[in-house]
Structure formats: structure tokens, C-alpha cells
Structure 1
Amino acid sequence: MAIHEEEDRNPVSTEPTNLRSVDWKRLFAFLKPYRLRLMLAMLVLVVSTGITLAFPTLIVRLLETVTQTGDMAALNRLALLLVALFLLQGGLSFFQSYELSFIGERIVLDLRTTLYNHLQDLSINFYSERRVGEIVSRISSDVTQVRAMLTSSLTTLLSQVLTLVGSVVIVLRMNAGLTLFILGISPLLIAVAFIFGRLVQRTSTQVQDQLAASTVVAEETLQGVRIVKSFAREEFEKQRYGRAMEKTFTASLRLAVLNGAFGGVMLFLGFAAIAAIMWFGGREVILGHMSVAMITGFLIYGVTIATSLGGLAGLYTQLRTSLGAVKRVFEIIDLAPSVQDRPGARQLPQVRGRIEFDHVYFDYGDDVAVLEDINLEIAPGEILALVGP
């Protein structure tokens, strides 16, 4: 009831979810009906990534044409080729975005429908242990996080891995020493990602739980608003909701601090890596091992590698955040109704809603009649008030 003091019913654990504890086969089963669309989107992604990898090489060719040959016609052809590639990449990006949005929304529909249908099958004791606001939070925010994990996170992973591997292969052919220098600073980025990833997952789970708790307070108060008004408990409910929102704000602020710190550290490491690449590359130019055009392309590929590593680090933190949502959704789906039908139970036929008492007698076994020879008929949709001593 809305006027009761707060109670923590069936709290959700905020312990980090182990990657191996997730049933990945079951999770990816939601993608199976749309695997052809997903494969097409992945194919488009591969082509788009190839165009991205070709861009720095064309820049090197363009700079060499300007600085070495002075061929204006070749310069024009390369510039037009760049424009054509950018136009093609824009079209591919639109197609990929549409396909992923379609798949994502279908996954949301399927998962929410599955979860809602299962909630209808659960016994009444489940709802005595869980608050409605918490359940609504699972259907809304948690399912949305699962959707992001199965679509955008999956494609981002493929894109970043392809870009990283492709860039490393290309720069290895350009200058192996500078490539090894870049790869030498990569472990630091990966270590930072792992450390922040665990912290972000734990804090994100707390944010989701506090948001569910505040939703519970609002749902209970609004649903029982007549009782609140009857007992003049408006101020109490205002304070209760305010306390819940303060807890949500505190958890959200902690998450914002972690995300901000992670972004700042990664930004510093990224620019520091660029400075290191420019320093090492400048030495190679001075020694005559590389041209200015080549070091420009190498710098672009170096930035691409750093961006890919940063993207994979951010993806890891996002993955850790989504694992808690996956766990909570599957926890509800895996619950079995405590009340089971007997084997061979007959299906209830269509109910018309008509109620009839035909000479009904009732007592509590003490020979004192409570109901005696009651005849009553209530038609579907009819409202009847019974008033007695």
C-alpha cells in the first residue's frame, strides 16, 4: 500500500556478472529469425570498413602526387575518387543503420512479448514478492540494454576489430619499427579498459536498481492515490519519492564520474600516443626512412588504431553494463509458476460473465445459517450492490 514505510523486497544483487555465466547461445537465439538481415548488414559493414581503411592510403597517394610529380590531372582524379568513396560510404552507412534499427526493434518486440507473456503465466505469489515498478523497469530499460548489446555493440565490435587488424597490417607494410612502437603502448589502454569496465558495470547495475525503486514508489503512490488522499499522506509520499530520487541521483552521479574519468584518461592516452607517434615518425623522416607523405598516412592509421582500441575499451565497459540487464531479464523468464495445472486438466471454456445462485445455503458448521435459500442472477456487465446487517 502506498502509505506504508519503504521495504526492500527481493533486492537485486549488484555483484558483477561473469562473462562465462551468461548463456550466450540463448541470448543470440533472439537474432536467429533475422540472421539474413544481420548478415547483410555485416557485409555492408565490411565494405564500409574497407573504404575507411583505403582513405589514408589515398591521402598518401594524393600528397605524393602534389609534392613529387606535380601532376594536376592525377590530383583531380584522386580527389574525385575520394568524394566518390565518401558518397558510397554514406549510402552504406544509411543502409546499415536502417537494417540494425529494424533488427533491434524486432528484438525489443520479441523479448518484451516473451517477458510479458511469461509474467502472465507466473503465479500470484511472484507479484507479492516483486513490486510492479521493478517489473516495469525490467520490461523497459533492461530489454533496451539487451537490444543494444545484440545489435549496435555486436556491429561495433566487428567494425573496430576489422579496422584495428586492417590498420595494423597496412602500417606493418609501411614501417615495421613504428608499428611495433604503437603496439607497445596498447596494453596500457587495454588495462585501463578492464579496470574501468568492472567499476562501470557495478555502478550501472546500482543505477538501474535505484531507478526501478523510484519507479516503484511512483507507481504505488499513483495507484493508491485515493488512499493517500484519504489519510492526508501527501507530504510523506513527496518525501519518500524525493529520497528515492536522491538515491538514484547519487548512483547516476557516481556512474557519470566513472564514465567521465574513463573518457578523460582514454583521451589523454590517445593524444599521448599521437604525440609519441609524431616523435618517432619525425625521427624516421629525419633519418630518411620515411617521406612526409608516408608519415602523414602513418599518423592517420595510428589515430585509427588508437580510436579502435579506445572503441573496444568503451565497448567492453558497455558490455559489462549490459550483462546485468541480461541476467535480470533471464532470471524472470526462468521462473516457473508455483501453481501448476494437473496433467490432463481441461481448458476453461469461454466465460460469459453470468453469475447465478440457485437455492444456495451456507454456514460455517455451527448450524447458524449465513446464507439460506439464496436465488440470485447477475447478467454480464451488470453491477449489483448487496447490503445487509
Structure 2
Amino acid sequence: MRGFHRFNEENVGKSYDKKLMARLLKYAKPYWLFILLSIFLLTLIAGIDIARPYIIKLAIDDYMEVYSREAISGLRNLSFFYFLLILLGFFLNFLQIYLLNYTSNKIVFEIRQQLFEHLQKMSLGFFDHNPVGRLVTRVTNDTETLHEMYTGVLVNLFKDIFLLVGIMIIMVKMHLQLALLCFALIPIVLLTATFFRSRVRAIYREVRAKLGTINALLNANFNGMKTIHIFNRESQQFEEFDRNNQELLYAHKKQNLIYAVFRPTMEIIRSLGIAVILWYGGGKVLQGKIEFGILFAFINYIKQFFQPIQDLTEKYNVLQSAMASSERIFALLDEEPSIQNAENPMENHCFKGEIEFKNVWFAYKEEDWVLKDISFKINPGESIAFVGPTGAGKSSIIHLMGRFYDVQKGEILMDGVNIQLIPLKDLRKNIGILMQDVFLFAGTIKENIVLNNNNFSDEAIKSAAEYVNAHRFIEKLPNKYNEPIVEKGNNLSTGQRQLLSFARALMYDPKVLILDEATSNIDTETEKLIQATIEKIIKNKTTIAIAHRLSTVQSCNKIIVLHKGRIYEHGNHQQLLQKKGLYYHLYQLQHQKIKESL
């Protein structure tokens, strides 16, 4: 499987890549009419910008030499025309900016939607190898960089080109010698721009790398805040963040230094051009060889001439940033989920709840086997428990049943059919997993029970909550079923979160119910309530339990004891005690601990 984690912040890639640009332009294709209209508006805006100095030139040369009524009338008409051009330029600029930003926002919206949808489809193994902070950066920072490219580079590039070409043409037509004198500065500008690009590229790579590290660090700290407080590691975590933040600050300082040198340098070159024009053109004016209006227009055009060059140079950085962001975004979009539906999946499979493992071997990494030649069968409606030391492979079996991972050897059957032939949506819909750590989304209690499925009525939600004994505590809340839940459900107790997960599972009525340490870390009174709830919801369902506390699995039809990835022994509670094997040893050990705690 290709690893997306290879495409990190330091892989900037080319400053311009035709293939990447072609893919980016595909997203703009549905909005080609808006983009063409924006380019047309920019052409008009560039024409207005070029015309303004020329109008002033006409006013100076044609109407300011001799006082007369005709001169006054001509100046009045030119002034009015100049004012209309300013108003027209304002309107066109407003329309173009709004239209371009609207189009860019729509494009980036669709890319961000596609990214999020793609991430939803990725397998658990993908998230095992990719820090959440970097994935968040892909969906937020990188897509925002593309927004800058669409608005600042892709279309506005045409305006800069129109301005440069238009100014060069009009300068040549007004006075060839003065124009050539101005153009002599172009090689100096290009050398300066090339030097700037070579420096900013390396600095940009460093800034992106440091920013990615900061995002990953923030995500790890916020998710582990409870552990940080428990072990009093606030100062150490702050020092780590401060060190990385200082490195990011230092990288930004170097980036700012490059810009602080580049912009004044360009200003000096432009001022040098103005000085040369004043020296040479001023002499020609005094000699009567050129009109003063031409000199005035040239000074204005030289200011306008350097602005697009400076913009184009700085847009190189935006373009490079967009290429790097698009490379990472497309690398993510091209990463195929390792778990996919079969080419010809078995539709409308009738689930009864029979599960069979046949000689299953599984490893998360290459051949570091977590499960070794596992075989067992669970009949419909049967209850079975997996017990064993930590790391024996209990949770891995659960992950394989829901096809969150695929086996390397052997096969897993659901009602006699290989689960790889069953559509993932159908398979997971019929397997309910109740975890030890229940995850609740920020929202309301109602939303967390139905998981944004609007097909359930309020009566059905209330009925499910009553059935699992959750209705009592919900009714005591100020907003009842509309009570807000903070992220991860931290404003509810562990037992309350567990009861909500039972209600959630009951709403979808799965044929197979998996209890993964569902009663761990819960007080005795709440455990009794949850046990009573479990006894109600497992009726007519195939039930699989994973528990360290052996007292919770004694009533199961069958208990499978795992040790180092293999089935060590199996049987019911009494049969395993009589064997006096690993189960007997674990039972005695827990029984002894309970006695000592009393």
C-alpha cells in the first residue's frame, strides 16, 4: 500500500507542474464562463489604468500651453472623461473582485468537500500512519493556499501581462528613445527577481515544514490534555511547543527579511528609472524636442511598469505554495482505501449472525503476526467471550469482523459468505460495536443517538432510550434530548455515555453486538444498570464480549482464551475452570485481587 505519509511539508516539488495545474484547472472548468468574464473585466481595467496617464498627457500638451476658452472647454471635457473612467474602473474592479472570489470560493469549497469525503472512506490503517494535525492542514491550510492561487495568480496574471504589454506599446509610440532607456532596466529587474525566487523557495519550504510540525503538536497536546494534567507535564509540553514555535518564528523572520530586501530593492530600481527619465527627458523638454506631457506620462508609466513585474515576482511564491499544496492534496486524493468493496459485491445479503474464522493470520505490519491461525465458529444468537492477557489479539479480532482491516491469510465468513464479498455499508450496519471509551460528537443527545439520521422519529428515540435505561438521566437534564454535548461528551459521566451508546446501537438494530470492555472503569451501581441493559439488548442477537473482568463473561455460551495471538483454550466457564489452564490462572488471580481489596 502506498503511504500518504511520504508526502509531507518538506516535499515542495516543482515551482510549476503542468500535470498538477491541469488537475487544478479541471475544478475550474464548470466556472469557465465566470473566469472568462473576469479576464475580460481585467482587460478593461488594465486599459483604464493605461489610459489615465495618457489623458493627463493630453491635458498638459494640448490645453495647458495657451489660455483660451477652447483650452478651458477641453480641460473640462477631459476632466469629466477622467472622472468617468475612475468611476467605471471602480465598478469594474468591484465586479471583477467579487466574481473572482465567488468563483474561487466555490472551487475551493468543492475541493475541501472532496477531501473530507475521501478521508471518511479511508481505512483505519491510514490514520494509524498519518498524524491528524497534518490531515487537518491538508483540508484547511492547503485548500486556502489554492484559494490564493485562483484569486491572486490564475486570473490576475492576465492583468499584469496586459499592463506590461500595453505600457510598453504606448511608451514606444510616444517616444522610442525614452522607452528603450526604460527597457534597459528590465535585465536588472529580472536578475533581482531570480535572486529573490531562489532565496524565498528554500525559506518557504522551511516555513511549511515548521507549520506542519506545529499543527501535529497542537493536535497531540489537545487530545492528550488529561494525561498532561495528570502527570503535571504542562511546563515540559510548553517548552516543546515554545521550541517549535521559536523555530517557526525564526523561519518567518528569514522570510520577512527576504521580502524586506526585495521590495526596497525594486523601489530603488524604479526610482533609478525615474531619475534617468528626468535627466534625459528633462533635457529634451528644455531643448524643446519633446513635450512636457510626454515626460509626465513616462514618469507615471515607469511607476506602473514596475508594479506588475513586482507582482509577478511575488506571485511566484503563491504559485509555488499552490503547487506544493496541490501536490499534497492530490497525493491524498490518489491514496486508495486499503479496504474496499469487491468488484461484484453480494447485494441484499440476509444476515443471521453466524460468524466463522477459518485459519486467520493477521499482522498490522508486514509479518509481525498479531493473530496466528485462528479458527472458531459462532452460531446465530450465541454469546461468546474472548479473554486473555493484554496484547493477546482480542481487539484485533473485533477489528477484522467489521473489516476495518483485512486478513493476510485465511478467511472470515458471515453466514457462510466471505465478508470481503459483502458491501462494507451492509456489513457494518449489522455489526454494533460498544466500546469502552464511547465517542460522542459535539451536538445534542438526540443527534448522538441517531447520528444525524433523520429517518427516526422522536418517539422511536425516546423508546430506545427507555429500553436501555438512559431515559431517566436524560429527563433530568435541563434540555432533555436537546441537551448540548461538548466534544467527546465530557459533560456526561462514563456510565451515561455508555448508556447513550447502547441506545445508538439499538436504533440501528444490528444482528451482531460486540461489547469491547463495555463495563470497564464504571462503578458497581452503574455496572449493574448497564449489565441489566445488556441482558435486554442482546436478546436474539449474536453477542461477542471482550472483558478483562472475567466475572462479566461467566454466563456466555462459550469463552475463547487467547494467548500470544493463538487460541489457547476454549469452553464455558465451568469447563475452563476444570481444565486449570490459563483461564483458571487468570480467574484465580482476579479473585485474589478482589479479596485483597475488601
Under a length normalisation based on structure 2, what TM-score does the superposition of the two structures give? 0.58
Distance 2:196 2:150 in 1: 22
Q: Is the 8 A contact 2:104 2:151 kept in 1?
A: yes
Q: 2:311 maps to which residue?
A: 311
Q: 2:560 maps to which residue?
A: 363
Total equivalences in the alignment:
368
**What per-residue deviation string (whole Å, max 9, x for no partner) do you get for residues 220-267 of structure 1?**
111111122222222221111111211111111111111111112111
Distance 1:154 1:25 in 2: 12
Q: Is the 8 A contact 2:17 2:323 kept in 1?
A: no
Q: Is the 8 A contact 2:34 2:99 kept in 1?
A: yes
Q: Give, in angstroms, the shift of residue 171 of structure 1.
A: 0.9
Q: Give, in angstroms, the shift of residue 209 of structure 1.
A: 2.1
> Which of 57, 60, 65 is equivalent to 1:60?
57
Change in Cα spacing, 1:372 to 1:121, as seen in structure 2 (3 Å) is farther
Q: Is the 8 A contact 2:185 2:269 kept in 1?
A: no
Q: Helix, strand or coil: the match of 1:68?
A: coil
Q: Helix, strand or coil: the match of 1:46?
A: helix
Q: Is the 8 A contact 1:10 1:129 kept in 2?
A: no
**Equivalent pairs: percent with the same residue?**
22
Q: Is the 8 A contact 1:228 1:234 kept in 2?
A: yes
Distance 1:191 1:124 in 2: 50
**What per-residue deviation string (whole Å, max 9, x for no partner) do you get for residues 88-121 of structure 1?**
1101111011101101211221111111122222
Q: Give, in angstroms, the shift of residue 10 of structure 1.
A: 7.0
Instruction: Choose 285-294 or 239-248, whichever is displaced more.
Output: 285-294
Q: Name the amino acid aligned to 1:283.
A: G
Q: Helix, strand or coil: the match of 1:362?
A: strand
Q: Give, in angstroms, the shift of residue 16 of structure 1.
A: 5.0
Q: 1:261 maps to which residue?
A: 261
Change in Cα spacing, 1:201 to 1:16, as seen in structure 2 (3 Å) is farther
Q: 1:245 maps to which residue?
A: 245
Distance 2:268 2:177 in 1: 23
Query: C-alpha root-mean-square deviation of aligned residues, in Å?
Result: 2.3
Q: Give, in angstroms, the shift of residue 137 of structure 1.
A: 1.4
Distance 2:334 2:25 in 1: 17
Q: Give, in angstroms, the shift of residue 372 of structure 1.
A: 8.1
> Which of 41, 64, 86 is equivalent to 2:38?
41
Distance 1:10 1:44 in 2: 38
Change in Cα spacing, 1:227 to 1:69, as seen in structure 2 (3 Å) is same
Q: Answer yes or no: is 1:162 the counterpart of 2:364.
A: no
Q: 2:186 maps to which residue?
A: 186
Change in Cα spacing, 1:274 to 1:314, as seen in structure 2 (3 Å) is farther
Q: Give, in angstroms, the shift of residue 12 of structure 1.
A: 3.4
Distance 1:191 1:162 in 2: 22
Q: Is the 8 A contact 1:16 1:201 kept in 2?
A: no
Change in Cα spacing, 1:371 to 1:46, as seen in structure 2 (3 Å) is farther
Change in Cα spacing, 1:321 to 1:278, as seen in structure 2 (3 Å) is farther
Report the structure number with the largest CA radius of gyration.
2
Distance 2:272 2:281 in 1: 14
Larger RCO (alpha carbons 8 Å, 6+ apart): 1
Distance 2:143 2:159 in 1: 24
Q: Is the 8 A contact 2:557 2:572 kept in 1?
A: no
Q: Name the amino acid aligned to 1:362.
A: I
Structure 1 residues not aligned, in runs of 5+: 1-7, 374-387
Structure richer in strand, relative to its length = 2
Distance 1:325 1:229 in 2: 36
**What per-residue deviation string (whole Å, max 9, x for no partner) do you get for residues 50-91 of structure 1?**
111111111011112442243111111111111111011101
Distance 1:14 1:271 in 2: 39
Q: Is the 8 A contact 1:205 1:324 kept in 2?
A: no
Q: 2:275 maps to which residue?
A: 275
Structure 2 residues not aligned, in runs of 5+: 346-421, 431-507, 514-540, 544-555, 562-566, 576-589, 592-598
Q: Give, in angstroms, the shift of residue 198 of structure 1.
A: 2.9
**What per-residue deviation string (whole Å, max 9, x for no partner) do you get for residues 195-237 of structure 1?**
2123213212321221121121121111111122222222221
Kindly report structure 1 stretches of 4+ aligned residues shifted beyond 6 Å: 370-373
Q: How does 1:165-244 map to 2 (within 5 A)?
A: 165-244=165-244
Q: 2:538 maps to which residue?
A: none
Q: 1:74 maps to which residue?
A: 74
Q: Answer yes or no: is 1:24 the counterpart of 2:221.
A: no
Q: Helix, strand or coil: the match of 1:288?
A: coil
Distance 1:138 1:213 in 2: 13
Q: Name the amino acid aligned to 1:174.
A: M
Q: 2:109 maps to which residue?
A: 109
Q: Helix, strand or coil: the match of 1:242?
A: helix
Distance 2:574 2:107 in 1: 57
Change in Cα spacing, 1:168 to 1:152, as seen in structure 2 (3 Å) is same
Q: Answer yes or no: is 1:12 the counterpart of 2:9.
A: yes
Instruction: Choose 81-90 or 128-137, whichever is displaced more.
Output: 128-137
Q: Answer yes or no: is 1:89 the counterpart of 2:291.
A: no
